[in-house]
Structure 1
């Protein structure tokens, strides 16, 4: 599937580890199938320092903190508060999973 991407594509994975096959990503980057990649999530976390992806100049890793800006943490807290408030006041929480 990575070979279907343009050779100047940059893959960014901030969703879940395992969505992108790390071995295939390594091969695609090593062989210039795609231009570069950046990942914030991995199958194994914390990422092993011996991960071959880290040897590549066209790969950037962050330690699963991409969504941890001050703004996002405030929004997550406010969203959780709004859901608890709704539930305590007999309303349906916005993010109800049924």
Structure 2
């Protein structure tokens, strides 16, 4: 017999935390990586965000919706890093 959860924990906080870490990684890559290595370091940062998404969702201890939460975390991190890399690309075009 399965016992229903009385007060399930909120899961949106873990998803948004991964997005925030992705934004921090993107800014750090922009500050410290050279132009030639920026894309590679963004890919490494996305891989780190994927691992972080698994860790955060496993830590929450809820099995219902695990795949959807990890997917939302990873796709959100991809979108955040994509917008940041778009900014890097536009900044490279503008003469300064």
TM-score (norm 2): 0.29
Greater RCO, CA 8 A, separation 6+: 2
Higher strand share: 1
Over alpha carbons, which structure has the higher Rg?
A: 1
Q: TM-score, normalised by structure 1?
A: 0.29
